[in-house]
Amino acid sequence: MGEGYVPLITSYKMGRFDLSHRVVLAPLTRQRSFNNVPQHHAILYYSQRTTSGGLLIAEATGVSDTAQGYPNTPGIWTKEQVEAWKPIVNAVHEKGFQPNGQAPISCTDKPLAPQVRANGLDIAEFSIPRHLTTEEIPLIVDDFRVAAKNAIEAGNGLFQHSAYGMCTGSGDKLVEAGGRLIICLSLSLCCNSGTLYSILQSHCSTEMLPLTLTFSLDTGMNCPPVITNFHLFCAGFDGVEIHGAHGYLIDQFMKDQVNDRTDEYGGSLENRCRFALEVVEAVANEIGADRVGIRLSPFANYSESGDSNPEALGLYMVNSLNKYGILYCHMVEPRMKKVGKNVGIPRSLLPMRNAFNGTFIAAGGYDREDGNQAIAENYADLIAYGRLFLANPDLPRRFELVVPLNQYNRSTFYTSDPVIGYTDYPFLDSNA
């Protein structure tokens, strides 16, 4: 390794996207989207962290008014929200980029104990969820398929949705120069209600919710993912990252410590992974595997969603994902077993990395040194950073120059202030 060589600041080709460096912005909930509408200050927040040829993953975004796990998190189920996302996406595009998006849902009726939230201060309490019925699951899978189809086709002109009428698409072209910058929209479906549509006129708890969805068969309504993925591409996003991590629906189905189902979606490892793979297949068939990514956390025990053999789970999933040829797998390190805690578990993602054929993104507790080491040793293709990127909008440059980092202030992670702890972290120079 030559003097001045910084593995994190080397180019990488991810499918059809040419990235100029390996430093990825991880999805970070910030709770500054008042009334679930992305705000103008988010334009500055995301553009501050944009570099030509970089990869950004946008914060988790709800797909319905009953799917909000935190207060003031953004949504994408109304025209107002879609229009609010557009200038944010456009601001990132101006620095050289193309966008992506993500989608999750739920599994059990086990009660969940109160837990400390990621800010280390607040306690989240949960109500008892309800099982998703076997008959409901194919409807959700098909919603992913239809949503993905609408999402891609929306880029070619005007497309009609029964709930929202006509919507203008964003086009389907790549940036011509300066590498590729991809922004991935995380769609969070989680609710503390036993029946989803019975509380359409009310809001869920403002605390972290038990990540359990139910879809009524007799409402005559489409499930939220149909609306959401259609809208995310109207807003300018051009790919989908499926959220299969951190105790959300897909993760619940995969984990044997939470999945107690007795139908074809429970029991064996193959059965528990069936739902996740059905969603992947449906989305990949509709929009093309080169537009699809997935986030997984096989070792994590968020919201009491753990597994007795996470290595086997991770390997089974990546080997199965290879059959679909998706763009990337975004996997969380074993050391991040609990929210906000690095527990130093002596395990490795290397078997999963070696088994997966596409781009492999590692996340969870990385700093500059071990990030560079991971790239240099081919442990991962890209490294996702959360808190460090939050506090250092010019993180790739700081890594390149080997300069000190700003320290993050955990107490401002989830406040409503549009500046403090959000867009006021300093750059290396005033001209940045």
Stretch (H or E) spanning 321? helix 310-321
Closest alpha carbon to 51 in 203, 183, 168, 207 = 183
Residue 50 tokens, joined: 């944009």
- CB neighbours (10 Å) of residue 95? 18
Ordered domains of the chain (ranges, CATH): 58-369 (3.20.20.70)
pLDDT given at position 392: 98
Residue scoring higher pLDDT (166 or 73): 73
pLDDT number for residue 214: 32
Amino acid identity of residue 140, one-letter, is: I
Confidence of residue 82 (pLDDT cuts 50, 70, 90): confident
Residues annotated as catalytic are: 248
pLDDT band, very low/low/confident/very high, at 246 (cuts 50, 70, 90): confident
Does residue 224 have a pLDDT over 70?
no
Q: Which long-range contacts (CB under 8 A, 24 or more apart) does 346-350 make?
A: 347/299, 347/310, 347/311, 349/314, 349/379, 349/380, 350/379
Question: In this model, does residue 6 exceed pLDDT 70?
Answer: yes
Range in 12-26, 81-95, 294-308, 387-401 the model is least confident about: 81-95
pLDDT above 60: residue 186: no
Lay out the sheet containing 182-188: strands in order across. 100-101, 182-188, 55-62, 23-25, 382-385, 359-363, 328-332, 292-296, 240-244
Both structure tokens of 2: 């030559």
* pLDDT single digits (tens) 41-61: 999 999 999 988 888 888 877
Summarize the confidence of residues 81-88 as an average pLDDT: 81
In angstroms, rounded to a whole number, what is the distance separating the alpha carbons of residues 211 and 356?
Answer: 28
pLDDT(134) > 80:
yes
Token pair in block for residue 431 = 């001209």
Tell me the pLDDT tens digit for each residue of 350-382.
999 999 999 999 999 999 999 999 999 999 999
Q: Are 412 and 391 in contact (CB under 8 A)?
A: no
Q: Check: CB of residue 360 under 8 Å from CB of residue 380.
A: yes
Q: What is the pLDDT of residue 81?
A: 79
Would the pTM count as exceeding 0.95? Answer: no
CA-nearest of 372, 395, 397, 394 to 382 is 372
What are the tens digits of pLDDT across the range 271-329? 999 999 998 898 788 778 998 889 999 999 887 889 999 999 999 999 999 999 999 99
